[in-house]
């Protein structure tokens, strides 16, 4: 019906078809349905959907049942669930580094980034930022490697945490080192700021039979101390490293994956991935009102509702390209679900042409949606077009200095070279209105304007339709930070 209608309208085909699609989306995605998804996922009974909690398992089942009801196929061996191996790691009780005769203690100077309990001694060796080349030209065998946190081009501590540190640990391991210490010498990053983040219970990925990480510490900035000069000058400085009291505990976690096969015989080989994380941070301290549940209505029941809306629409109206719908687990623990997925994709990443992610901390402008990564990708035309019928405008990320792009699952795709954007509810600044709800107990469903939220979801679905219909999928723009990864991906 739709095809016939569109092919007959020769005069203004794209305009009229566009109107038809927007109308279909409006009819299909009702405000009540979007509201119902969010109210269910963000209810107090779901206890903030923490990774490893039974409530997050209920949320996963709910999402799978919506996928199924709307005719999606299971994305992974015809089931909807991808097991994600994660474990809870308690912080160490003690950790200490002694360099020459100078000691640095846990919480005051030292943070444990990774690796288990340890007690070792050896010679320190400096590798700069610790790139593959740095390791190539330095003898690190049997030594404790010292590097600077991050890399020459890393501008945020998230990127250092998520990308640089794991790579360095693997390199150090490969080159026979016994431990790794990164010096926190990054502009704008303080030890105290990181201490709260790293010195608490964490959830990390852990594959069966995986080699454990080398003991890996982050150390207060000591770049102006004489011992650092001695290490840099290769004066065979020696010392000890000790970590104890770390305990681990396995958790259950699942990505939920559905699929709608493409209807175009050629384009169906190209996979578009539509994503949103469905976990949040669980239950924490009571606030002044006695509320301890972090409901996460905005973050990210809202984005999950947009994903479910897309699943409903495409379930009835398959696109030319094949679409995978993925609800990610453990995003709040450091993008773990998407990290696992992009390391274990159900369709080759080389065939994965684009990722459209829905996530956000809230909104403070109900006339817009905010797109993280619009400036990196050739997506602007579709985004403008997708929002217009629903009375919204798509704006570019107003706070690039926060690097929010690296703060959600789109980043896992980007760092593998796959063009990706995050479609966030409208904000013009990270102001008080946002902070009132962002990772706070009052982020309740009833504080949302569901008319706006439904229009956000509709624009998201329409954007997905427009991307899926493009002759050539959205591309990276020249000069973006992910160009090298994109080249490597295509060379595979």
Binding site for Zn ion (CB under 5 A): 299-300, 359
Asked whether the beta carbons of 64 and 80 are under 8 A apart, the reply is yes
CB of 425 to Zn ion, least distance (A): 11
Those residues whose C-beta lies under 8 Å from the C-beta of residue 32, and which sit 6 or more positions away, are none
List b or e across 151-182, with b for residues whose CB sees 16 or more CB atoms inside 10 angstroms: beebbbbbbbbbbbbbebbebbbebebbbbbb
What contacts 24+ positions apart, CB below 8 Å, involve 225-230? 225/102, 227/99, 227/100, 227/102, 228/183, 230/100
Shortest separation between residue 66's beta carbon and Zn ion, angstroms: 19
By beta-carbon proximity to Zn ion, the closer residue of 182 and 359 is 359
Gap between the Cα atoms of 382 and 324, Å rounded: 20
Nearer to Zn ion, 204 or 281 (CB): 281
Give the integer Cα–Cα distance in Å for 433 and 445.
Answer: 16
Nearest residue to 327 via CA among 100, 37, 114:
37
To the nearest whole angstrom, how small is the minimum distance from the Cβ of residue 488 to Zn ion? 28
Is the CB of 115 or the CB of 282 nearer to Zn ion? 282
CB of 408 to Zn ion, least distance (A): 6
**Choice between 40 and 191, CB closer to Zn ion:** 40
Q: Smallest distance, Å, CB 373 to Zn ion?
A: 15
Nearer to Zn ion, 294 or 482 (CB): 294
Cβ atoms of 227 and 44 within 8 Å: the answer is: no
**Least spacing, CB of residue 384 vs Zn ion, in Å:** 24
Q: Which is nearer to Zn ion, 50 or 359 (CB)?
A: 359
Q: Shortest distance, CB of residue 41 to Zn ion, whole angstroms?
A: 13
What does the CA dihedral 120, 121, 124, 125 come to, rounded to 10 degrees? -60
Burial 95-130 (b: 16+ CB within 10 A, else e): bbbebeeeebebeebbbbbbbbbbeeebbbbbbbbb
Pick 281 or 489: Cβ nearer Zn ion: 281
> Cβ closer to Zn ion: 311 or 424?
424
Of residues 247, 238, 276, the one with CA closest to residue 101 = 238
Length of the chain: 492
Closest distance between Zn ion and the C-beta of residue 35, in Å?
19
Q: How far is the CB of 300 from Zn ion (least distance, A)?
A: 4
Contact 332, 281 (CB under 8 A): yes
Q: Measured between alpha carbons, how far is residue 353 from residues 277, 430, 470 in Å?
A: 20, 31, 11
Gap between the Cα atoms of 118 and 248, Å rounded: 15
Beta-carbon contacts of 144 under 8 Å, excluding residues fewer than 6 positions away, are: 120, 122, 123, 124, 125, 177, 178, 179, 180, 181, 239, 241
Minimum distance from residue 111 beta carbon to Zn ion (Å): 24
Indicate the residue among 82 and 275 with the shorter CB distance to Zn ion: 275
Q: How far apart are CA 345 and CA 15, in angstroms?
A: 36
User: Min. distance of Cβ 359 from Zn ion in angstroms?
Assistant: 4
Nearer to Zn ion, 281 or 283 (CB): 281
**DSSP state, residue 73:** E
The residue among 49 and 143 lying less far from Zn ion, judged by its C-beta, is 49
**Strand-pair category, 271-277 with 352-358:** parallel
């Amino acid at each position: 019906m739709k095809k016939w209608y569109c092919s007959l309208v020769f005069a203004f085909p794209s305009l009229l078809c566009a109107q038809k699609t927007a109308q279909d989306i409006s009819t299909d995605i009702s405000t009540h349905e979007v509201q119902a998804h969010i109210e269910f996922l963000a209810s107090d009974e779901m206890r903030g959907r923490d990774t490893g909690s039974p409530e997050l398992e209920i949320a996963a089942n709910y999402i799978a049942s919506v996928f199924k009801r709307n005719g999606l196929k299971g994305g992974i061996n015809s089931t909807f669930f991808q097991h994600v191996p994660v474990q809870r790691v308690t912080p160490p009780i003690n950790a200490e580094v002694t360099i020459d005769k100078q000691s640095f203690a846990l919480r005051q100077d030292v943070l444990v980034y990774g690796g288990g309990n340890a007690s070792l001694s050896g010679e320190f060796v400096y590798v700069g930022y610790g790139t593959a080349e740095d390791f190539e030209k330095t003898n690190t065998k049997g030594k404790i490697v010292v590097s600077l946190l991050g890399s020459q081009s890393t501008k945020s501590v998230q990127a250092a945490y998520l990308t640089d540190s794991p790579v360095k640990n693997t390199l150090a391991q490969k080159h026979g080192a016994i431990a790794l210490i990164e010096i926190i010498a990054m502009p704008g990053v303080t030890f105290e700021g990181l201490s709260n983040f790293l010195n608490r219970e964490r959830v990390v990925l852990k594959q069966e039979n995986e080699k454990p990480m080398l003991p890996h510490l982050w150390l207060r900035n000591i770049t102006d101390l004489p011992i650092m000069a001695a290490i840099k000058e290769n004066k065979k400085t020696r010392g000890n490293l000790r970590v104890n009291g770390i305990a681990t505990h396995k958790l259950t976690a699942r990505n939920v994956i559905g699929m709608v096969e493409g209807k175009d015989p050629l384009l169906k080989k190209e996979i578009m991935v539509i994503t949103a994380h469905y976990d949040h941070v669980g239950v924490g301290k009571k606030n002044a009102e006695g509320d301890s549940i972090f409901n996460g209505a905005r973050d990210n029941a809202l984005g999950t509702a947009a994903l479910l809306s897309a699943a409903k629409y495409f379930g009835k109206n398959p696109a030319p390209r094949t679409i995978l719908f993925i609800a990610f687990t453990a995003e709040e623990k450091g993008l773990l679900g998407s990290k696992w997925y992009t390391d274990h994709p159900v369709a080759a990443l080389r065939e994965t042409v684009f990722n459209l992610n829905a996530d956000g901390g809230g909104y403070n402008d109900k006339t817009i949606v905010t797109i993280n990564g619009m400036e990196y990708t050739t997506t602007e035309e579709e985004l403008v077009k997708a929002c217009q019928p629903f009375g919204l405008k798509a704006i570019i990320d107003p706070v690039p200095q926060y690097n929010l792009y690296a703060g959600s699952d789109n980043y896992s795709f980007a760092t593998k070279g796959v063009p990706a954007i995050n479609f966030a509810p409208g904000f013009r600044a990270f102001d008080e209105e946002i902070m009132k709800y962002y990772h706070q107990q009052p982020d309740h469903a009833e504080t949302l304007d569901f008319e706006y939220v439904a229009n956000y979801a509709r624009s998201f679905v329409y954007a997905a339709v427009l991307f899926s219909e493009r002759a050539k999928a959205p591309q990276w723009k020249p000069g973006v930070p992910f160009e090298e990864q994109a080249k490597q991906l295509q060379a595979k």
